[in-house]
Chains A and B, each alone.
Chain A
Amino acid sequence: MKFFEDIQVGEVFALGRHSFGADEIKAFATRFDPQLFHVDEDAAARSHFGALCASGWHTAVVWMRLMVDFRRGLLETAQARGEPVAGIGPALGFRELKWLKPVFVGDTIDYASEVVETRHSNSRPGFGLMTIRSTGVNQHGEPVISFLSTTFVERRPAPP
């Protein structure tokens, strides 16, 4: 991650996209959220969703995977240039998570996170706090998930 001082409100991290297949939707839901509309096509067709759809938690954890991969890309780029990289974390939680539309079989979700606030940390002087709004948008341009989260980001060390 960039150092806290280099992060601007309004900056958008484009994280990439993921297509949700029937097998992975059912496999995830079988482990964590085995409600019929996430594991059984026929039952889902009779439910208020009308078709098999992903657990909302599945939609959320794919964001986490893409964010980890995005950060790793930043790290490798900086290391290749011999530049220092800011430490991050831990995450304290998230809030205002909304599952706005179902994610159906074959949907492709495009994920991004936008910096909405930065502030200094009183508890950890070497760090700042970054709040991001993360979203996933389907192939029709409709938002399917949105949430806010706040993370510690390391400040640029003072010059020696």
Chain B
Amino acid sequence: MPTHHWEDFQPGAVSIYGPRLVTREEIVAFAAEFDPQPMHLDEIAAGATMLGGLGASGWHICCLLMRVIADGFILDSSSMGGPGVDEVRWLRPLRPGTRIRVRATVLDTRLSSSRPQMGLVKFLFEVLDEGDTVLMTLTTTLMFGRRQPGALA
């Protein structure tokens, strides 16, 4: 039985997950596979781009956020996945050697109108560096099984 069900998420609750060290090797390996642009692959070429130096692919930051929250609470929850992402903003580059953390704020919760065994939780996730600078924000609604399916909220 997982620890976290839909009923356990309260609007306004804030949690911090991580840290997770992001290495140069993994930034380059991700980019070589999924986003082979110079600013994600090579320091010298990256210096001439608008990123001003080697930085992780924005999609890599999304994937790292997913892993940090998976380890943080999703894998020990009644997660049923997510239907999408409202918005992602890439605010600052993620440089090699940064220890990221994720700040999760519960914005809203509601029951599913079509599936009584499920509820929805809207989150703001912020990827932070060691100095609490926000590198990326992501707002999304995730689906969770209910501890008491069909009960009134």
Instruction: Tell me the smallest distance from the CB of B39 to a CB of chain A, in Å.
Output: 8
Map CB proximity to A onto B127-145 as digits: 1 under 8 Å, 0 otherwise: 0000000000000000000
CA distance A37 to B80 in the complex (A): 9
Pick the residue among A35, A37, A61, A98 that contacts B59 (CB under 8 A): A61
User: A135 at interface (Cβ–Cβ under 8 A)?
Assistant: no
Instruction: Tell me the smallest distance from the CB of B19 to a CB of chain A, in Å.
Output: 17
Pick the residue among A32, A94, A95, A98 that contacts B66 (CB under 8 A): A32
Instruction: Tell me the smallest distance from the CB of A92 to a CB of chain B, in Å.
Output: 6
CA distance A146 to B37 in the complex (A): 23
B84 touches A61 (CB 8 A): no
Instruction: Tell me the smallest distance from the CB of A69 to a CB of chain B, in Å.
Output: 8
CA distance A64 to B58 in the complex (A): 10
User: A159 at interface (Cβ–Cβ under 8 A)?
Assistant: no
B37 touches A68 (CB 8 A): yes
A93 touches B33 (CB 8 A): no
Instruction: Tell me the smallest distance from the CB of B54 to a CB of chain A, in Å.
Output: 14
A68 touches B36 (CB 8 A): yes
A35 touches B90 (CB 8 A): no
Closest to A89 in B: B50
Size band of the interface chain B makes with A: 20 to 34
B67 touches A65 (CB 8 A): no
User: B43 at interface (Cβ–Cβ under 8 A)?
Assistant: no
CA distance A52 to B37 in the complex (A): 31
Map CB proximity to B onto A8-43 as digits: 1 under 8 Å, 0 otherwise: 000000000000000000000001111101000000
Query: Which residues in chain A, 67-120, are within 8 Å of chain B measured between CB atoms?
Result: 68, 89-99
A93 touches B87 (CB 8 A): yes
User: B25 at interface (Cβ–Cβ under 8 A)?
Assistant: no
B83 touches A98 (CB 8 A): yes
Closest to B85 in A: A97
> Could you list 11 A-B pairs, sorted by A, with CB under 8 Å?
A32-B70, A35-B70, A35-B74, A56-B82, A56-B84, A64-B34, A68-B37, A89-B49, A93-B58, A97-B86, A147-B84
Give A residues with C-beta under 8 Å from B. 31-35, 37, 48-49, 55-57, 60-62, 64-65, 68, 89-99, 147
9 additional A-B pairs beyond A33-B66, A64-B59, A147-B84, beta carbons within 8 Å, are: A35-B79, A56-B81, A61-B34, A61-B35, A89-B49, A90-B50, A92-B90, A96-B84, A97-B88
